Structure 1
């Protein structure tokens, strides 16, 4: 029995080519993800972290740092043999093109010292204010000139005299520029990022002074934090990508299941003959599963090889010197996933093959799905769909808590499953009228193709369900993304008047230099200019405590360069704080309640004087900038300016900062466009990952059409015999493919938009109907389905059109 099935598998291996492709792509996705995550995690272990540092003292998490007095205090502690302060401050490197070098960050400048963190690879250490050493990754070399912008807006030009590699201690990024220690405090700031201590006794035996917010760790513990965090990040990346891989495998499962269903249907007489000559049901079932195992093993082997190759390419693209790690777990997982999914998808077909009666060998008609199975499917699908709708509607209130919203997400998933279970009935209900309409045309190819698409709704549904899943996920996340972008745009338009000019950092999240606000205020035509400072701060109130986003701004900002959509109270920041209404409701804060904002090295207690509408979904506390600590006041994130002639203000500010690559002058529409671009970049990555599922689904369409052509070989032969041209046969197959893809695409879009509405309700707390439709993604998806339909039909249509007429008529 086994030999007979293997011979049949070898003889008709072409029928399983597309199934193999589905397995290969799914397994490759899983293996490449595992290889990349393992390689990334292991690469951190190869990093030359600095050792030999006994203790490290850091300031508060707020970033206040340590003062020179703190260094002197630590130097005087008995048992401390050496205390070294590490300076770190703003030094944004400017490239030869006049733009900031990517990766330049707020703490990119430091002072040169002999702690062992610098390893010279060329040149020497810097001496004096006109020399600098640079990190090897900057691409600069000795005798080049480095151009940097400092925290106070000064531009520094210094001769490069050395190039260094950096040995990090704990979770720190290598500085780009290292200056002479004697002048570094004047260039990058006088506060130390940390103080490193060498001791002549056990670190635990030191009597270190205690200061609010100080953090004391051993160097070994900080390095271990780096390794642990790297592994945690790698695991997070692994889990995130495996979620996309699971979608690809799910779609591949549809393709595999549909393929084996068609193969079993086509071989009913073969199974009946085997039963007639003595084969048991178990043997027949086992024979089909052996075929599935063979396909799974072959596909997994190729998929593992492809996955290792893709993983290696991803690792090299990220960092050239990262070693490639291919663990046994990746290989075992590849085979387990490939074989497991294939066997699971084929199991239903194997069971049906085992139920074929020996007398079926005398029949020629195709097997029909038992009515009992259809009834079970109808009842199960209806229950899932109705349950999902009921749960979503019951949790649709915007004022429900997080648990209720998560339950609502579960309802959305139930509804989705209901649609998949009812897919054959939906296909018959939707495509039946379409086939009748198209059947009235005078073009035989159109009539024939439409009828072929609807003649077996179960097969059409199984083929289109793969496309449905992929497109539904794309449209769901597109709906969520478009809603978030729309909300952000509405927030900016509601907060920033059209006449306001906005000055923001060109490098994104880095604060503006401290001179920007003064230069804006001194610009001709500017009547009002205020600065905004964002930061995460702990808020404490009678009901508890937690982190929130605080905006420190001048009190006269509202009703001049900004607007506050007040729901209650006043926007007078001199009297207290103004809180977002959603934030206040979540924390149980009301007008008149006192809240304390803890900046780490500074605490501010103020009453709540106003509540404003937070339509952007991001709660904020507005605070008078005069009450914020000096460090927070200096970290300007945005400057808003206006004047009697807004156009003149914009032109004057453009001219004022034309020579500053760290500053960008824009307006509210520019802010909206910038935010949308950043979010769309994230969505594009997700679309690309979901694209793997759509590609697998497209191969499934090719496979279904090819097997359908083989199944209808005699029918095609008769058509050709009575005068049908090859063009007609090709057109019929092409239209059948278009109908299948269009159906899957349309249902996928509807399901995706609906699920996206549920997602935005759960994540953003907005009404289910308050969504923004992603028209561009929907349009591209529909056009893509047409392209997939045409391309998927090329090979099956050509094969059908070139069918040998006599051989086809003689076929059983």
Structure 2
């Protein structure tokens, strides 16, 4: 029996071609994700590392705390055979184009030493005060070679000019920033400071001695421990990448399941007599069900085989495309990735086909005597009832919770209610199809032509099939529109938050790299610029916050109280903006932490200094902006002196202030002089790039859905061969048949598209309310995305029908009307 069914499957390979494509695409996404994440982990841990270091002593805070006295004391320990202090400080290299070289500037500068961490790739080590060596990758990005002159900006704004005498590759020790600039050691001490980032020691049995010598302010780690930390960090980074991408793969597989389930439903319907004959000759229900599932498994195996091969290729290609061109790449295709691909391909196909297998097993033997036999189908009452309960329950949950100042539990429940409502819509899709398309068919029956009438009636006569086909499109489009709504709302709120906080006339100075602080010298120079009368600077950090409900992580900004109230314009919703009295906090963040005006919170700064202050003011801001503002005078000295995130300047003549600051920093490519609207535009562009990436990821699901439409129409044409033959016999032309199939496809796609857009926008409203605390319906409608989606659905409807319509139009009349 199984051989007969597999033989029938091979004989009608065209029926399952599009289903095979859906399986292949889903498996490809999963395997590519696995290969990409495994290769990322392998690349992060495959670099040239050092094993000659026995023990490392380093501070417990990000700032260097070890000095020459510590180095001498540790070098004098009996078991120590070698000790070297390693310098690390902020340095910004200027490329040949006059701009700062992309990359982190923190700890980018160091001193050349004999630890073995430098491997010369060209030239020699720096020895004189006007010489420097560059990492090979940084030199390539800067377009600098040995013999060129290089300019380096230090944390205090000093400008260093040096000759490039060498290029080096770097051997890492655990998790550390790879330096890009190395000076001679004496020069580095004069330029970068005398505090050591760490001290590397060689010897045996050093850990107890070193710990006793340095005390609790310094942590002592072995080289093996640091190597393990590096591997763990690489694995965690790869796992994070994998989890993020698997979300998109899961969406693609979910859409694929709709396509597979719909295909097997139609295949079972078309083979009722075959199943009845099998039952008549002695096959049991279990045997028929198992045969259909094995048929699905065979299809899944073929799709998984192709998908695994394509996934490996796509993963390796993606690793090559996204990895830095100047960094070595290690490719890793693990057996796990291959096994996961096969498990997903076979498992998803079998699960999607299970309902059809049950219906095939329920076909009675007597159905073999009928020419119009169909498999038994449930009435759909249970599905409709479940969908109604989920939709009503989810919607009521969202409406009940909706309100300002949601706590964490309420936010989770709000999103959960949105998900339940979404599932309810999917279950009720046949009901919606009937409710929407039936009146449309009646209207078109009176006003439309024969093509329009037949197309709409074909779409509505089997609402389950229409719903199953359009649901795949619904899921993909709903996700795109949901994140588009969320993104547009975030961009709008973020821009409004900046406009509320910063006056339009202010000139803003930021780091040109966009990720490193400016030196405090920038603040001093701004204050001394003619025409500047008000200056404010913020120092941004993400730190742990202790409160009555526990500990949370939040963003803070340390600001001068006068600048906060006289230059910046915070919109206080409760309390006072005076930072001398206490901290000012975002109301939404306060609700999440379970704190209110008058409560105390404890801020732990990066150097582990703990400062407890009272909440004396509440404002409305948004994620991405500082959520807590503190008086800079209450921050530890190390935090104040490390640098500033942004500087704001204002004067009687804003235009003159901008020109004066442009002139003051014309020779400082590390400083970006800008204004409020330019800052908003830059932040919006960065966020929209992220959204575009997400749209591309969800695009795989939409592509699968398109193949599902093609497959459904093709199988529908096969199923309606007799009907099409009769239409041809009574005078329907081939162009009319083609137009009918095309319009039917457009109706199905338009229905799925409109429903998907509606669900997506509403779910986006729920997400932004839960994440941002914004009023539920106070959203930005992504009109451009919606317009593109609608136009795309119409195009998809037309293109999806090209092959099925052509096939339907070529139906031979005599052959068709004699078909059962």
User: TM-score if structure 1 supplies the norm length?
Assistant: 0.94
Contact 2:111/2:182 (<8 A) preserved: yes
Three-state SS of the structure 1 residue aligned to 2:197 is strand
Partner of 1:261: 265
Inter-partner Cα distance in structure 2 for 1:73 and 1:541: 41
Alpha-carbon displacement from aligned partner over 1:126-182 (angstroms, at most 9, x marks no partner)? 011221111111224322332322222233332211111101111112111111111
Aligned partner of 2:797 among 782, 789, 806: 789
Inter-partner Cα distance in structure 1 for 2:284 and 2:613: 82
RMSD in angstroms over aligned alpha carbons? 2.4
Three-state SS of the structure 1 residue aligned to 2:127 is coil
Inter-partner Cα distance in structure 1 for 2:591 and 2:285: 64
Change (3 A) 1:91 1:257: same
Three-state SS of the structure 2 residue aligned to 1:365 is coil
Partner of 2:227: 223
Contact 1:56/1:216 (<8 A) preserved: yes
Alpha-carbon displacement from aligned partner over 1:601-629 (angstroms, at most 9, x marks no partner)? 47475653730313325663323323433
The answer to whether 1:300 aligns with 2:308 is no
1:537 deviates by 3.8
Inter-partner Cα distance in structure 2 for 1:740 and 1:58: 65
1:52-201 aligned at under 5 Å gives the runs 52-77=52-77, 79-138=79-138, 139=140, 140-199=144-203, 201=205
The answer to whether 1:633 aligns with 2:637 is no
Change (3 A) 1:608 1:567: farther
Contact 2:544/2:604 (<8 A) preserved: yes
1:789 deviates by 1.2
Contact 2:406/2:591 (<8 A) preserved: no
Three-state SS of the structure 1 residue aligned to 2:482 is helix
After superposing the two structures, state which structure 1 stretch, 574-583 or 727-736, moved more.
574-583
Aligned partner of 2:346 among 339, 347, 352: 339
Partner of 2:504: 498
Change (3 A) 1:719 1:554: same
1:541 deviates by 6.2
Inter-partner Cα distance in structure 2 for 1:416 and 1:409: 11
Change (3 A) 1:399 1:533: closer
1:347 deviates by 1.4
1:637 deviates by 0.7
Inter-partner Cα distance in structure 2 for 1:43 and 1:61: 28
1:281 deviates by 2.6
1:542 deviates by 7.1
1:257 deviates by 0.6
Partner of 1:11: 11
Partner of 2:21: 21
Aligned partner of 2:577 among 546, 571, 575: 571
The answer to whether 1:360 aligns with 2:367 is yes
Inter-partner Cα distance in structure 2 for 1:793 and 1:258: 17
Alpha-carbon displacement from aligned partner over 1:24-74 (angstroms, at most 9, x marks no partner)? 111111111112222222333422211222222222424254344443444
1:653 deviates by 2.5
1:19 deviates by 0.6
Change (3 A) 1:238 1:539: closer
The answer to whether 1:761 aligns with 2:769 is yes
1:539 deviates by 4.5
Change (3 A) 1:343 1:537: closer
Change (3 A) 1:366 1:92: farther
Partner of 1:721: 729
Change (3 A) 1:597 1:78: farther
Three-state SS of the structure 2 residue aligned to 1:515 is helix
Three-state SS of the structure 1 residue aligned to 2:261 is helix
Alpha-carbon displacement from aligned partner over 1:699-736 (angstroms, at most 9, x marks no partner)? 00000111111112222222223332222222111111
Structure 2 alignment gaps of length 5 or more: none
The answer to whether 1:615 aligns with 2:621 is yes
Aligned partner of 2:559 among 526, 539, 553: 553
Alpha-carbon displacement from aligned partner over 1:634-665 (angstroms, at most 9, x marks no partner)? 31110101111222322333343344322222
Three-state SS of the structure 2 residue aligned to 1:660 is coil
1:211 deviates by 5.4
The answer to whether 1:647 aligns with 2:655 is yes
Change (3 A) 1:584 1:411: closer
Partner of 1:748: 756
Inter-partner Cα distance in structure 2 for 1:206 and 1:480: 53
Change (3 A) 1:662 1:366: farther
Contact 1:596/1:603 (<8 A) preserved: no
Contact 1:761/1:768 (<8 A) preserved: yes
Inter-partner Cα distance in structure 2 for 1:316 and 1:502: 38
Inter-partner Cα distance in structure 2 for 1:523 and 1:44: 46
Aligned partner of 1:471 among 458, 474, 477: 477
Three-state SS of the structure 1 residue aligned to 2:620 is coil
Alpha-carbon displacement from aligned partner over 1:82-108 (angstroms, at most 9, x marks no partner)? 432211122212222222222242221
1:199-210 aligned at under 5 Å gives the runs 199=203, 201-206=205-210, 208-210=212-214
Contact 1:590/1:608 (<8 A) preserved: no
Inter-partner Cα distance in structure 2 for 1:477 and 1:578: 31
Aligned partner of 2:687 among 679, 683, 695: 679
Contact 2:54/2:204 (<8 A) preserved: no
Inter-partner Cα distance in structure 2 for 1:165 and 1:737: 59
Inter-partner Cα distance in structure 1 for 2:547 and 2:10: 73
Alpha-carbon displacement from aligned partner over 1:97-120 (angstroms, at most 9, x marks no partner)? 222222242221110000110011
1:447-462 aligned at under 5 Å gives the runs 447-462=453-468
Change (3 A) 1:795 1:363: same
1:213 deviates by 4.2
Alpha-carbon displacement from aligned partner over 1:439-487 (angstroms, at most 9, x marks no partner)? 2334322222122111211100000011111111122222222222222
Contact 2:74/2:210 (<8 A) preserved: no
After superposing the two structures, state which structure 1 stretch, 666-675 or 118-127, moved more.
666-675
Change (3 A) 1:437 1:368: farther
1:510-589 aligned at under 5 Å gives the runs 510-539=516-545, 547-584=553-590
